[in-house]
A and B are shown apart, each in its own frame.
Chain A
Amino acid sequence: MDEKKAGSAIRLGLTKAPPSSIDAGAEFSVSVGLEWPGGMGPDGATYRILDGKKTITSGALPKPSEDGSVAFALTAPASAGEHRWLLTVAKDENDAGKRAEGALPLALTIVPHATSLAVWDVPSPVVRGAKFVVKAGAKCTASCGFGGREIEIRDEAGELMGSAPLGTITWEGTASLYWATLQLKAPRKQELHAWTLSFSPSETDLPHEGATSRFSFVTVPEPEHSVSVKVVNTKTKAPIPNAQVRLGLYRAVTDETGAAKIPVPKGKFPLIVTRVGYEIPERNVLVSKDVRVRIAAEQLPEEDPFATWTA
C-alpha cells in the first residue's frame, strides 16, 4: 500500500443535510459519513467548523453511530442570509508521523424567526365614537421573549389608532404569546371595520419577521331604547338560561332567569335565538320605545342516534 496516499485524505459526505432553512440562532444537526484512509479510524480524530477564518466550534470527533456516520449538533448563525461553513476533520498518527485531513462545505440558509399575532376580546357592535379596548398578542416561532416590544393597530387607511408595549408575562394557556391591552376609539361612520394589528420587532438579539393580523368590528348608533328578551320553554314555561340572542347586529346571552336586555336605537331588527335542544322561531322586533319580547322555545326530543332515519 502507498502510505503517503493512504494517509492524505479523509473523504466526507453528508448523510443528513442541514434543513433547507434554519431559524437564526436555532439548534440543528447534520450527519456526515467518513471514509478513512487505509488503516485509519475515527479514534482520536478532531473536527473544526469554520465560517471563513472564524472557528464556530471544534473538538474531538463525536463517536460515530452504528452506520459509521457522525452527527454534529450545531447552533445556527444569528444573522439571516446564506452562510457557507466548512467542516474539517483531521487525524494525526504520531507513531507513524502521518496526518490525514478532510473537509466538507456546509451551505446554510438562515432565516429570521417568523412571528404571528392574535387579537381578541374585541367588542362588536361598538357605539360610534365610543372608546373600547381589545387584547392583542404576538408569538415568535422560536418562543423568543417579546416583552416590551411595541404592537400597533391601524385602520383601513393605515392611520395609527392605538399602540402598546407587550407585557412580560405570556397569555394564560399559551406557550409564549406576549400580550397587551390596547385602548381604541371607534370611528363615527357606521359600518363594518377591518383594522390591522401589526408587529415589527426591532432591536431583538435575533432577526424576526414582522406580522399583521386583521380583525373586525361593527359600529352602531347610540342606543335609545332597550329590548328585554325573555326565553321560556313552550310547555313548562320554565326560563331558559344560556340561550344566544342575536338582534340584528347585537348579541347577548340569557341569564339564569332566561332574560337578556339589549340597548338599541330605533329600528326594526331580526331576532334569532338559538339554544341546543330547542327549536325557536325567528321574528322581527320593531323598536320605537322600550320593548319586552317573550320567546317560546320548543324542546326537541333527546337525540337518539338509532332513530335518525329521515324520509
Chain B
Amino acid sequence: MGKLEKNSIVSRRSVLSGGAAAVGGAALSGLATEANAQVPTRWDRTADLVIVGAGVSGLSAACEAAEHGASVIAIDMNFDIGGHGIMSGGQLHLGGGNAHQKLEGVTDSPDSVFKDWTRHDHRAARYSDRDLVRIFADWNVDTYDWLLKQGVKYETGMQQSAASTVPRQFRTIEWHIPSEVISPRRNRNGSGLVRPLANSARAKGVDIVLNTKMTKLIREQPLSGRVLGITAQGPNGPINIQARKGVLLCTGGHTDNVNLRRTFDPRLTEEYQVACSAYSPQSGDGEIAAMDVGASLWATANQTAEAGTAITKTRHIGCQWGYNSLVYEPDSPLFPKARAMGLTVEDFQNIIMVKENGLRFFDETRSGYDFFAACMSWSGDPQKLNGGGPIWAIFDQAAVTRERWKTEPPYVDLSGWFFKGDTLKELADNIAGPYQRRKMNPAVLEETVAKFNAGIDSGKDEFGRKALNFKIAQPPFFAAWTTPILHDTLAGLHTNTNAQVVDRKGEVIPALYCAGESMGGFAQHGLARCIIFGRVAGRHAATGRVASAL
C-alpha cells in the first residue's frame, strides 16, 4: 500500500516537466503563462488517488484502490460520509447469478444483465452506453462478493424491478449504531452500505477528510495534459492536494444545481424540490469542474427519458422537501435543516392541487410523467415562462380528520410551505411562499373549489378524475407545498469503460476519473452502478489495468 505524504513541496517546474531535467525558460514558454498560473507552487497533501466525494462510489473506489496498493485521500464537503447513499433505502441492483440469487432460486448470468439493461423496449435501458453496461454486467457477481468482504450485510429476499427480467434487487441491513445512521429512520438502510465501506477504507489506510469542498481541478494546461490534483476549501482555508495517479470525481448528481439541471430540461426552474437536499445537495460540482478542464457530457437522453424516479410526486406535503421515503423526525440530526416532517398523504383524493394562480391542472390522484408535465406547464405568469411555479395542495378540515393529520409543527413548516385560512379567501390571501411570485387571486381559488365541488355533486370532473367523493368545504382550509421532487441524476460526464473522463474531442483526460451519479452513460437508478464504477475507477487508477480484465 502506498503511504500518504503530507506537505510535500513540489515545484511547478518539476510537476510540469514530469521531474525531467531542467527545462529552459524558452521551452517553458511553450506552456502558456495562464496555464502555468493554475498549477500551484505548493502541494499541501499528496496521494496516489484523490477522491472527491465520500459517498457510495467514492468509498467503493477508495476501498478498491487501497486494496490494489494505492494511497488514497477522499474528501467530502459534508460533516459526515455517505452522500446520497446514506439517505437511500440501501437497495442494491446486482445480479449476474450471484449467491443471493442462487439462494432465492433465481437463474441469472452477466449476459442476461447486459441484455436487460440494454433493452430497446424499456426507457431506463434504451439510451444507455452499451460498453458501460457490459462492464457493469461483468462486475455484478464479483461486486456482490466484494461488498460482503467489506463488511456489508444483506437482508434476505429479492425483487424484480426496472428493466430487469429476473429478481436482482435486495437491501443492505441498516447500520447497527443509531447515532451513525444520519438519515431518517423509516426504511432507510443505506447506512448499512456506506458505514462498512468507510470503515473498510479507513482500515486500509484511506484518509477521509470531511468538511472539505473541491473548488477546482488542476490540469497541466487548461484543456490538455494530465490532471495533477485539486484545490479544495477546508475548515482551515484552501488546500492543494496532489494526485499522483488520478483524481476521481464522485460528487453525486446535479439536481440541486438549477442551471445545470436546466441544461437537460429547461422546465426545471428554481421551485422544484430535490430529494435528500437536507443532507447531500446535488450540486454538480464534479461535472462543472471537469467541464472547466475540457470534459464532455454523455448520454444526456437518459435524463429526460421519462422513466423511473428522475421526478417524483410529493408524498409528504407542507414542508420544503417531501420525498416519498424521507421523513425527517425532530430527533434527526437533519431536522434543523428540514424543519418539518410533512403531512403524509395516504389518499390523494383528499386534496386538490392548484398552481400559484389558484387553478387546478390535472387529476391529483395520478402520478407519472404526464402529471409532472402538467405540473411544469406554464402557469400564465408573463414574467416566468419556464417551469410551472409552486403547486399547492388545497384541502379542508374534513380531509385533515380523514387523514388524521396534525396541522402544526413539527409536521408542517410555517415559514412559507404551509398556510391556513378560516375561509378560502383568507387562505389565498395568506399564501406567500418563497416561490409564490404573484399573489393568488382569492376569487380564482374560490371558483376553482366551487367547480371541483360541483363535480363531486355531478360525478364529472374537468380533469377526468374518477375518485370524486369528498368536497372541500369544511373550515378551516389549508395550503401545503407539494411541488414535484427531482431525484435521480441519470446523465453526467462522458467516461470510457475504465471510468476515465473523456473530453470534447473524444480523448481521455489523463488521470481524471468519474463514477456515481456524476458519471453519464448508464441510467440505472440507485447504488449498484455507483459501487461498480467506483471500483472500476479505483482499480484502474491504482493498477492501470483495464476494467474488462476483471
Complex interface bits, B359-378 against A, C-beta within 8 A gives 1, otherwise 0:
00000000010000000000
Inter-chain contact A121/B473, CB cutoff 8 Å: yes
Question: Nearest-CB distance from A271 to chain B (Å)?
Answer: 11
Closest Cβ neighbor of B326 among chain A residues:
A305
Nearest chain-A residue to B324 (Cβ)? A305
In the complex, whether A217 has a CB less than 8 A from a CB of chain B is: yes
**Contact mask B71-107 → A, CB, 8 Å, 1/0?**
0000000000000000001010000000000000000
B346 contacts across to A, CB distance below 8 A: 276
Query: Does A203 reach chain B (CB closer than 8 Å)?
Result: no
Tell yes or no: A139 within 8 A of B by CB.
Answer: yes
Which B residues from 437 to 485 make CB contacts under 8 A with A? Answer: 442, 446, 450, 453-454, 456-459, 466-471, 473-477
By beta carbon, the residue of chain A nearest B90 is A306
Is there a chain B Cβ closer than 8 Å to A244's Cβ?
yes
Within 208-250 of A, Cβ neighbours of B (below 8 Å) are at 211, 213-218, 244, 246, 248-249
* B458/A116 in contact, CB under 8 A: no
**Among A121, A139, A192, A308, contact of B422 (Cβ-Cβ < 8 Å):** A139
Stretch from A73-81, A85-93, A169-177 forming part of the interface with B: A169-177
Spot the interface stretch: B128-136, B380-388, B423-431, B534-542. Answer: B423-431
Judged by a CB distance under 8 angstroms, whether A124 is at the interface is yes
Taking a contact as CB atoms under 8 Å apart, the answer to whether B422 and A214 are in contact is no
Q: How far is the CB of B435 from chain A (nearest CB, A)?
A: 24
| Alpha-carbon distance A84/B423, docked complex (angstroms) | 34
Question: In the bound complex, do residue A218 and residue B458 qualify as a contact, i.e. CB atoms below 8 Å apart?
Answer: yes
| Contact status B457-A308, CB under 8 Å | no
Is B525 a contact partner of A249 (Cβ separation < 8 A)?
A: no
Q: What is the CA–CA distance of A176 and B476 in the complex, to the nearest angstrom?
A: 10
Decide: B468 and A246 in contact? CB cutoff 8 A.
yes
Please tell me if the beta carbons of B450 and A305 are within 8 angstroms of each other in the complex.
Answer: no
Q: Is the CB of B453 within 8 A of A215?
A: yes
In the complex, what residues of B have CB within 8 A of residue A270's CB?
Answer: 459
* Nearest-neighbor residue (CB-CB) of B309 within chain A: A308
Residue of B nearest to A134 (CB): B473
Contact string against B for A residues 94-121, beta-carbon threshold 8 Å, 1 for contact and 0 otherwise? 0000000000000000000010111111
Instruction: Name which residue of chain B comes closest to A119, CB basis.
Output: B473
Given the known interface contacts A116-B425, A194-B454, A214-B450, the answer about A311 and B473 at a Cβ–Cβ threshold of 8 Å is no
What is the minimal beta-carbon distance from A178 to any residue of chain B, in angstroms? 10
B304 on interface, CB distance cutoff 8 Å = no
Q: Which of B312, B396, B442, B475 contacts A177 (CB 8 A)?
A: B475
Q: Does A274 contact B (CB under 8 A)?
A: yes
Q: Which residues does chain A contribute within 8 Å of B423, judged by CB atoms?
A: 116-118, 137, 139, 177
- In the complex, the answer to whether A116 meets B457 with C-beta atoms within 8 Å is no
Cβ of A122 under 8 Å from chain B: yes
Which of A139, A282, A306 is within 8 Å of B426, CB to CB? A139
Question: Per-residue CB proximity of B522-544 to A under 8 Å, as 1/0?
Answer: 00011000000000000000000
The residues of B that contact A303 with a CB separation of less than 8 Å are 324
B466:A274 contact, CB within 8 angstroms: yes
Judging by beta carbons under 8 Å apart, are A311 and B123 in contact? Answer: yes
- Give CA–CA (A48, B334) in the complex, Å: 54
Which of B48-56, B158-166, B255-263, B510-518 is the contact stretch? B158-166
| Nearest residue, chain A, Cβ from B325 | A305
Which residues of chain A (261-294) have a CB below 8 Å from chain B?
A: 270, 272, 274, 276, 282
Any B CB within 8 A of the CB of A21: no
> Do A175 and B457 touch (CB < 8 A)?
no
User: Max chain A CB contacts within 10 Å: which of B124, B422, B525?
Assistant: B422
In the bound complex, residues from chain B placing their C-beta under 8 Å from that of A213 are 446, 450
Which residue of B is nearest A301, CB measured?
B159
Complexed CA–CA distance, A211 and B324 (Å): 40
Task: Tell whether A309 pairs with B307 under 8 Å between CB atoms, given A174-B422, A174-B475.
Answer: yes
A307 on the B face (CB < 8 A): yes
CB distance from A187 to the nearest CB of B (A): 14
The 8 A CB mask of B294-314 against A (1 = contact, 0 = none) is 000000000000011100100
Return B294 CB to nearest CB of chain A, in Å. Answer: 34
A191 and B130 alpha carbons, distance in the complex (Å) = 61
| Chain A residues in 8 Å Cβ range of B426 | 116, 139, 141
Q: Is A128 an interface residue (CB 8 A)?
A: no
Is A204 in the interface zone, CB < 8 Å from B? no
- Report the Cα distance A7→B299, complex, angstroms: 79
Interface residue tally on B, bucketed by range? 35 or more
A159 interfacial by beta-carbon distance below 8 Å: no
Given the known inter-chain contacts A274-B349, A307-B161, please indicate yes or no for A171 contacting B475, CB distance below 8 A. yes
- B34 sits at the interface (CB 8 A): no
Whether A249 touches B163, Cβ cut-off 8 Å, given contacts A177-B422, A306-B89, is no
Give the residues in chain B near A282, CB-CB below 8 Å: 466
| Nearest opposing residue in chain A for B88, CB measure | A306
- B446 and A249 contact, CB distance less than 8 A: no
For A65, the chain B residues whose CB sits under 8 A away are none
A contact residues around B470 at 8 Å (CB): 244
Q: Is A20 an interface residue (CB 8 A)?
A: no
Report how far A117 CA is from B442 CA in the complex, Å.
12
Cβ contact within 8 Å between B307 and A311: yes
Assess whether B115 is interfacial by the CB under 8 Å rule. no
Give the residue of B453, B457, B471, B475 whose beta carbon is less than 8 angstroms from that of A125: B457
Query: Is residue B5 within 8 Å, beta carbon to beta carbon, of the partner chain?
Result: no
Contacts of A120 in B (CB 8 A): 396, 398, 471, 473-475
Write out the residue numbers on chain B whose beta carbons fall within 8 Å of the beta carbon of A246.
Answer: 459, 468-469
Q: CB distance B458 to A249 under 8 Å?
A: yes
Chain B residue at smallest Cβ distance from A122: B473
B397 CB within 8 Å of chain A: yes
* Given A274-B466, A305-B312, A305-B324: A173 touches B475 (CB 8 Å cut-off): yes
Which B residues are CB-close (under 8 A) to A310? Answer: 123, 307-308, 368
Contact across chains for B525 and A306 when beta carbons are under 8 A apart: yes
A118 and B450 in contact, given A173-B397, A175-B422, A246-B469 (Cβ under 8 angstroms): no
Q: Which residues of A contact B454 (CB under 8 A)?
A: 192, 194, 216
Q: Does residue A304 face the partner (Cβ distance < 8 Å to B)?
A: yes
- Which residues in B have their C-beta under 8 angstroms from that of A216? 450, 453-454, 457
Smallest beta-carbon distance A105→chain B, Å: 30
User: Cα distance A282–B466 when bound, in Å?
Assistant: 10
Binding site for A on B (CB under 8 A): 89, 91, 121-124, 159, 161-163, 169, 307-309, 312, 324-325, 346-347, 349, 368, 396-398, 422-426, 429, 442, 446, 450, 453-454, 456-459, 466-471, 473-477, 525-526
Question: Can you show 5 pairs from A to B with CB atoms below 8 A apart?
Answer: A118-B477, A120-B396, A211-B425, A218-B458, A274-B349
Seen from chain A, the residues whose Cβ lies within 8 Å of a Cβ on chain B are: 114, 116-122, 124-125, 137, 139, 141, 171, 173-177, 192, 194, 211, 213-218, 244, 246, 248-249, 251, 253, 270, 272, 274, 276, 282, 303-311
Give me 8 other A-B pairs in contact (C-beta within 8 A), A141-B429, A305-B325, A307-B159 excluded. Answer: A171-B475, A177-B475, A218-B457, A246-B459, A276-B347, A306-B161, A306-B309, A309-B122
* Shortest Cβ-Cβ A-B pairs, 10 listed: A116-B425, A307-B161, A309-B162, A116-B423, A120-B473, A174-B422, A309-B308, A244-B469, A177-B422, A216-B454
